[in-house]
Chain A
Amino acid sequence: MKPRFRRAPRRPQEDDNILPLINVVFLLVIFFLLAGRIGVESSDVVPPISKNEDLPAPSEPTLLVYGDGRFALDGRFLGDEALREALAGVGSDGLSRGWQIRAAADAEADRVLTAMTLLRDAGIESARLATVRTGP
């Protein structure tokens, strides 16, 4: 038995059915565009939770400190001496505008201090330590 509609059934128009879908998908795209942040995110390195409110400066070179104490720069794992060599001269050629250290919350604090010491030896006196507002 056919259901009774007040209007006559319209000619099937696949475009009409798909338009609301596109609307929703466009909204989702816009949402992710505005709410998300595109960038190199290492899910292995979860920064410590802190109540501080300072926003991170954008596009700073980032030094990663993993939970097991390894350093990584530009996607490469580096030992202490290799990092010292990689950083050599960075501070003198005008690139010392600011560095970010993204260290795992469970890393030894002493390793982070070592990283900062290595940065200082390269001429970078202060750095920003990445934190998060809430846990993962």
Chain B
Amino acid sequence: MLNRSWSSRPRRRSLVSLTPLIDVVFNLLLFFMLASSFTDLRSIRLDAPVEAGASDGERQGCVVEVAGTEVRVLGRTVPEEELVARVTAALVGRAEGVILLRPVEGASLQRLVSILDRLAAGGVGRVVLHQERTP
């Protein structure tokens, strides 16, 4: 048998001893296990926010305020499910279809991104971040 003849052949002394090789491989394994991350990162491209009152954008755009628990379109609280419909309606008749998205009352970033997602999914206009002028 081929196998047997191979295994019974006197073994050649290997050039590299196995133990240091395993050490190195284990070290590599540890390094990659600790250093690599599996977070599925994505990113949203955002333009710098315009400051409230800095331009006449407010008159042209539809201001959407994002608070901690509610969303307001042009100052009126709307249910989140109707957000896209309300914004679309509010944009009718405006020269530029700009949505000015403004976080208020300490709304979290997650909240803002959720609303951004919702608006992006609805495919309404251009969303511009809007920040109240800091005193």
Q: Mark A23-48, 1 if CB is under 8 A from B, else 0.
A: 00110110011011111010000011
- Does B32 reach chain A (CB closer than 8 Å)? yes
A interface residue numbers (CB < 8 A to B): 10, 13, 15, 18, 21-22, 25-26, 28-29, 32-33, 35-39, 41, 47-57, 65, 100-101, 103-110, 112-114, 116-117, 119-120, 124-134, 136
How many pairs of A and B residues are in contact by the CB < 8 Å rule?
A: 161
B interface residue numbers (CB < 8 A to A): 7, 11, 14, 18, 21-22, 25-26, 28-29, 32-33, 35-49, 51, 66, 103, 106-114, 116-117, 120-121, 129, 131-132, 134
Beyond A28-B29, A100-B43, A106-B110, whether A52 also contacts B120 by CB under 8 A is yes
Query: Judging by beta carbons under 8 Å apart, are B103 and A109 in contact?
Result: yes
Could you jot down 12 A-B contacts, CB within 8 Å?
A22-B25, A25-B26, A26-B25, A36-B36, A51-B117, A109-B109, A116-B49, A117-B51, A128-B44, A132-B39, A132-B40, A136-B39
Q: Choose among B116, B120, B121 the residue with the greatest number of A CB atoms under 10 Å from its CB.
A: B116
Query: Judging by beta carbons under 8 Å apart, are B41 and A29 in contact?
Result: no
Query: Judging by beta carbons under 8 Å apart, are A33 and B42 in contact?
Result: no
Q: Choose among B14, B43, B47, B114 the residue with the greatest number of A CB atoms under 10 Å from its CB.
A: B43
Query: Judging by beta carbons under 8 Å apart, are B43 and A116 in contact?
Result: no
Option from B7, B25, B43, B117 in Cβ contact (under 8 Å) with A54: B43
Option from A18, A35, A104 in Cβ contact (under 8 Å) with B18: A18
Which residues of chain B come closer than 8 Å to A114, judged between CB atoms?
131, 134
Query: Judging by beta carbons under 8 Å apart, are B43 and A109 in contact?
Result: no
Query: Judging by beta carbons under 8 Å apart, are A117 and B131 in contact?
Result: yes
Which residues of chain A come closer than 8 Å to B38, judged between CB atoms?
35-37
Query: Judging by beta carbons under 8 Å apart, are B108 and A47 in contact?
Result: no
17 more A-B residue pairs beyond the given contacts A39-B37, A51-B121, with a C-beta to C-beta distance below 8 A: A10-B7, A18-B18, A26-B25, A29-B28, A32-B33, A37-B41, A48-B109, A50-B114, A54-B43, A65-B109, A105-B108, A106-B109, A108-B109, A109-B108, A113-B129, A128-B43, A129-B45
Interchain CA distance A116-B134 in the complex, whole Å:
14
Closest chain B CB from A103 CB (angstroms): 5
Which residues of chain B come closer than 8 Å to A26, judged between CB atoms?
25
Interchain CA distance A72-B67 in the complex, whole Å:
26
Interchain CA distance A126-B48 in the complex, whole Å:
5
Which residues of chain B come closer than 8 Å to A120, judged between CB atoms?
48-49
Interchain CA distance A117-B7 in the complex, whole Å:
72
Interchain CA distance A61-B134 in the complex, whole Å:
26
